[in-house]
Amino acid sequence: MTAAGRIGLAGWRHVVKLDPDKPLPAETVRRIAASGTDAVLIGGTQRLTRAKVLRLLWRLRHAPVPVCIEVTAMACAVPGADAYLVPLALNTGDLQWLSGRHLEGLARVGARVPWERVLAVGYIIANPHSAAARRAQAAEPSEEELAALVRYGAGILDLPVVYLEYSGSQAPDAMVEVAGRCLRRIRAAGGRSRLFYGGGIAGYESARRRLQQVDTIVVGNALYSPRGLAVLEETLAARDDALREGDPGCPTS
Ligand code: 1GP
């Protein structure tokens, strides 16, 4: 079975992303994992250490849903996750974020990689003000460039996930619409890529709108606000309503 199959990727509509560099009380982590979200991603951009990743993974050890690590640094290459999501920054201005770091890592630990748990994620880092964009020297794509990036990731590379990343704020609605439209066309032709969106989802309305456009929404920063658990409930309600009322996301055909 593929890694995507093992973790039930095709059924994910709502996932949370927890940052090892932003500690939350153990009880809050437990409640988030048991909230009804479809999966927990461990991922961050800054100040990652192996100890921080392991601490968060330990707090999630009884999670009733898959716990997956985004391998953005060697510090993330720790045992114990249900899957390892390896980001390829499709619109990076610095090729080390597309292949360079990956090859360095594989040269070091490639013989110990649990391949049955590994899947690639094509990142389109679209918010130029985000830490990830600064790090990867990623510029905000025009709509034409975005369409080409989705077509490259889903149509050419056939990646399991194409992730429109707008970390920190809401992407322009038209941008998400373009990405969804391109991906739907590729899926209609037999493509398998799932479209993830993350960025500024902070309540029912933003979650519901994105669920009309993409397969999977990622809720991150808002979980760390004082309203964190309320945001979680609202976005899960949006997911449940989207499922009940048949919001399509990016249907298979
Ligand atoms: C971050 O895409 C996720 O990698 C979620 O974005 O933190 O803005 O919710 P936010």
pLDDT of 86 reads: 97
What's the CATH code of the domain at 86? 3.20.20.390
- Ligand 1 pocket: which of 19, 68, 218 to mutate (most atoms <8 Å of CB)? 218
The answer, yes or no, to whether residue 71 has pLDDT greater than 60, is: yes
For 204-237, the pLDDT digits (tens) are 999 999 999 999 999 999 999 999 999 999 999 9
Position 252 in a domain: no
Distance, in Å, from the CA atom of 20 to the CA atom of 24, rounded to the nearest integer, reads 9
Is 181 inside a domain boundary?
A: yes
> What's the domain range around 138?
3-245
pLDDT tens digits, one per residue of 78-125: 999 999 999 999 999 999 999 999 999 999 999 999 999 999 999 999
7 lies in some domain:
yes
Task: Please give the pLDDT value at position 209.
Answer: 96
- Reported as a single tens digit per residue, the pLDDT across 28-69 is 999 999 999 999 999 998 899 999 999 999 999 999 999 999
Quote the pTM value: 0.95
| 177 Cβ contact partners less than 8 Å away, ≥ 6 residues apart | 213
The kind and range of the H/E element at 21 are none
In this structure, is residue 175 part of a structural domain?
Answer: yes
Ligand 1 and 221: CB distance under 6 A: yes
Q: Read off the pLDDT of residues 98-108 as tens digits, 9 standing for 90 and up.
A: 999 999 999 99
Count up the domains in the chain and report the number: 1
**Ligand 1 neighbour 206 (Cβ under 6 A):** no
Helix, strand and coil percent figures for the chain, each rounded to 5: 45, 15, 40
Domain-embedded: residue 253:
no
Query: How many Å apart are CA 94 and CA 135, to the nearest integer?
Result: 9
Residue 109 included in any domain? yes
160 exposure class (CB count in 10 Å sphere: 0-12, 13-18, 19+): buried
| Atom nearest to 163 CA in ligand 1 | 2
